[in-house]
Amino acid sequence: MAESKESIENVVVSVLRSKLFVPEKMCSVDYWNEPLTGELYKFSAVDLAYLMFELEKVYSIKINADLLKAHGFYSISAIVETIKLHVLTD
């Protein structure tokens, strides 16, 4: 499957909206650097784990600990970068 950064962004937003019920407005690029565990999104550790598992399932990948440490899973932007490193380098 040919992927681009834009298609990865679309999938991440789609999963946020469909699986975690994030409103469309909060998926705006204006909020992509906001921490998902902060005041805006208020995600729990369980929410973040669920999001990671859903994205691993979509892309048939296993996000390794080194990428999580280096790039994090704390914001939409960070998630896109982490997925991009897995998908575009495999």
Residue 88 near residue 3 (C-beta atoms within 8 A): yes
Rounded to whole angstroms, how far apart are CA atoms 47 and 29?
Answer: 20
Task: Name the pLDDT band for 68 (thresholds 50, 70, 90).
Answer: confident
Is CATH 3.30.9.10 the classification given to domain 5-89? no
Q: Say whether pTM exceeds 0.85.
A: yes
DSSP annotation of 35 reads: -
More confident residue, 64 or 28: 28
Domain coordinates of the chain in residue numbers? 5-89
Please check whether residue 47 is in contact with residue 20, taking contact to mean a CB–CB distance below 8 angstroms.
yes
Cα-Cα-Cα-Cα torsion 69, 74, 79, 82, nearest 10 degrees, comes to -10
Residue 15 vs residue 64, higher pLDDT: 15
Indicate the pLDDT class of residue 5, thresholds 50, 70 and 90: confident
Structure tokens at 20: 């975690």
